[in-house]
Structure formats: structure tokens, C-alpha cells
């Protein structure tokens, strides 16, 4: 039996979401909607060293959200939003949950199912 597990799973969705979980990286993506940009250009608005930006770009690249090419001594980045589609598709499955009316209905069904939710307890033992 293993004592300490760590291993962050590198599935596509996790990579995409964790790439998006940083405001600097989201700002970079936003900037790239106006077209390809060099690393220096991308770094300029951020109070941060070049290597820091370089690391953010590597994260974005590994998640597939940007693509880097080569043009003389510049490494222009361009956005590749495809992984966002995957992410949005996944989230769509919860749309009904964030749409008010349905939430209310569900609330009601839950009350019906659980019977005397305040009094008897054990409300959450039903499986599936």
C-alpha cells in the first residue's frame, strides 16, 4: 500500500481548466484575440519577468490553448481555442442547474424524495 500519492492527472479537461485558472494566462489569451503576438509584446502589460511569462506560455501551449511558431528571433504565439470548446461542452451538462426555474423544481423534488427532511434525518442514505 502506497503511503503518499500526489500525481496530478494530466487529462485534457484538467489541463485546460488549470491553464485557465490563472488571471495572467487569461489576460494573455484575451490579448491574442487581436492576432499573433511576440513574447515581449505579451509580457509588456504584466509586471513580471520574461521567464515568468515564458512559463505561462509553456502552460498555455501544453494545454493546447496557444501555438508557438518561429519567425526570425521571435516566437509569435497565436490562440488555439479548440480546448475551450471541449470545456464548454462539459460545462453545458450543468446548464439546467444554473438556470433558476429548474433549480427550484429540483429543490421541490428533493423535498418530496427525502420525506420529513427536518425531523427524521437519514435523508442522504438513498443511493443513486
Partner DNA sequence: TCTTTAATTAACCAAATGGTTAAATACAAA
Partner DNA sequence: TTTGTATTTAACCATTTGGTTAATTAAAGA
Please give the residue ranges that form the binding site for DNA (CB under 7 A).
1, 3-8, 18, 21-22, 24, 38-41, 47-59, 68, 70, 72-76, 121-122, 124
Taking CB under 8 A as the criterion, the residue among 6, 51, 71, 101 binding its own copies is: 71
Single out the residue of 96, 64, 90, 91 nearest to residue 78, CA to CA.
Answer: 64
Q: What value, to the nearest 5°, has the Cα angle with vertex 81 and ends 47 and 27?
A: 15
By a kind-dependent CB cut-off of 5 to 8 A, residue 54 interacts, out of its own copies, DNA, none, with DNA
Nearer to DNA, 54 or 105 (CB): 54
| Candidate residues 3, 51, 94, 112; the one interacting with its own copies per rule CB under 8 A | 94
Helices (H), the chain: 12-20, 23-32, 39-43, 50-62, 82-92, 95-98, 100-114
DSSP state of 19: H
66 φ/ψ angles, rounded to the nearest 5 degrees = -135, 170
Any contact of residue 4 with its own copies (CB under 8 A)? Answer: no
Question: C-alpha grid cell for residue 77?
Answer: 504565439
Q: What residues make contact with its own copies under the rule CB under 8 A?
A: 8-9, 11, 13-14, 17-18, 20-23, 26, 29-30, 33-38, 41, 71-74, 76, 78-82, 84-85, 87-88, 90-95, 97-98, 106, 109-110, 113, 117, 121-125, 127-128
Amino acid at each position: 500500500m502506497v503511503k503518499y500519492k500526489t500525481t496530478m492527472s494530466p487529462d485534457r479537461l484538467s489541463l485546460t481548466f488549470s491553464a485557465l485558472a490563472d488571471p495572467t494566462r487569461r489576460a494573455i489569451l484575451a490579448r491574442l484575440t487581436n492576432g499573433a503576438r511576440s513574447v515581449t509584446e505579451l509580457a509588456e502589460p504584466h509586471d513580471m519577468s520574461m521567464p515568468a511569462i515564458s512559463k505561462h506560455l509553456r502552460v498555455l501551449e501544453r494545454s493546447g490553448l496557444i501555438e508557438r511558431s518561429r519567425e526570425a528571433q521571435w516566437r509569435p504565439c497565436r490562440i488555439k481555442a479548440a480546448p475551450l470548446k471541449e470545456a464548454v461542452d462539459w460545462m453545458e451538462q450543468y446548464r439546467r442547474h444554473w438556470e433558476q426555474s429548474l433549480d427550484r423544481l429540483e429543490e421541490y423534488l428533493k423535498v418530496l424524495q427525502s420525506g420529513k427532511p427536518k425531523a427524521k434525518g437519514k435523508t442522504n442514505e438513498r443511493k443513486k
